[in-house]
Amino acid sequence: MTARTSLLEAGRRDHFADAGFYAHTYRDRTEDVAFYEGLVAELGGPVLEYGVGEGRVALPLARAGHVVTGVDLSRPMLDAFHATLATEPADVRRRVKLVEGDMSHVALRKRFPLVTCPFNALLHLYDRASLEAFFSRVRAHLAPGGRFVFDISVPAPEDLARDPSRAYRVPPFRHPTAGCVVKYEEYFAYDHVTQVLHVDSIFTERDDPSHRWKTHLAQRMYFPREMESLLHYNGFRVLAVEGDFEGGPLTGASDVMVWHVESATRRSRKGHG
């Protein structure tokens, strides 16, 4: 394994190794949850969710009565989801099926009217081969007339131009799993050749500076016209791309892209599958 490959492997796993910290960090992120709830209410299920994680999006769907199959690479995140499900009513538990594996390779013997990939999960596909393999799996799992919906960040020039030697800090806080107050700093380094943004997060215990640890996050930056072309050449038709979770247009001020696509060779749900 080359140094670059090792760094990318850490970049797709480290950020999700501590499910408790992940859940704490994104506990206030609810606008996308409401969006996917509305989407499933409109289009119906069952739903296949790639990057299901600890269930931040999928669990509300199951509680609302929808059947969800979730795929994720991270065993810690899936373990956390299983632990949460164990506290849920039996009918909610029955609506959720979790599958561990790489979303570019997992093959399920089922098709879904709605396939989703929320909150930047697609950005962990770092090269063309991985993205093409994933798109192939999506097409294989879409029912005739089905919809594939995903959201990814819009590449921000200010993030891509940051000085990799400069630390970006936030006030100390109590780490939810370490149980201690930590100082936190981030370092951003953008690789212009691979179009991967690398983020190192450094945690240092305030009362014991010798207790220090780091996690690495790597995300492939996909630009709007680039993604449009990739979808086209991988057999999808773009139905809409929005710049927020309320259906607003994608503009220069948008920090998220919400893509609604279908198979370019789709047939009507009323036709023969």
List the pLDDT tens digit at each of the 273 positions of the chain.
677 778 999 999 999 999 999 999 999 999 999 999 999 999 999 999 999 999 999 999 999 999 999 999 999 999 999 999 999 999 999 999 999 999 999 999 999 999 999 999 999 999 999 999 999 999 999 999 999 999 999 999 999 999 999 999 999 999 999 999 999 999 999 999 999 999 999 999 999 999 999 999 999 999 999 999 999 999 999 999 999 999 999 999 999 999 999 999 855 444 333
Model pTM score: 0.94
* 122 DSSP 8-state letter: G
Dist. CA 9–CA 11, nearest whole Å = 5
Residue 28: partners with Cβ closer than 8 Å, 6 or more residues away: none
Task: Name the one residue in this structure whose structure tokens are 């891509």.
Answer: 160
Q: Where are the domains of the chain?
A: 3-153+223-263, 157-220
Per-residue confidence (pLDDT) for residue 266, from 0 to 100: 55
Q: What is the pLDDT of residue 1?
A: 62
Contact 252, 238 (CB under 8 A): no
| Token code pair at residue 223 | 């630009």
C-beta of residue 137 within 8 angstroms of C-beta of residue 115: no
Q: What is the CATH number of domain 3-153+223-263?
A: 3.40.50.150
Cα gap 271→273, rounded to integer Å:
6
> Contact 125/220 with Cβ under 8 angstroms?
yes
Residue 195: in which H helix or E strand, if any? none
List phi, psi (to 5°) of 172. Answer: -55, 150
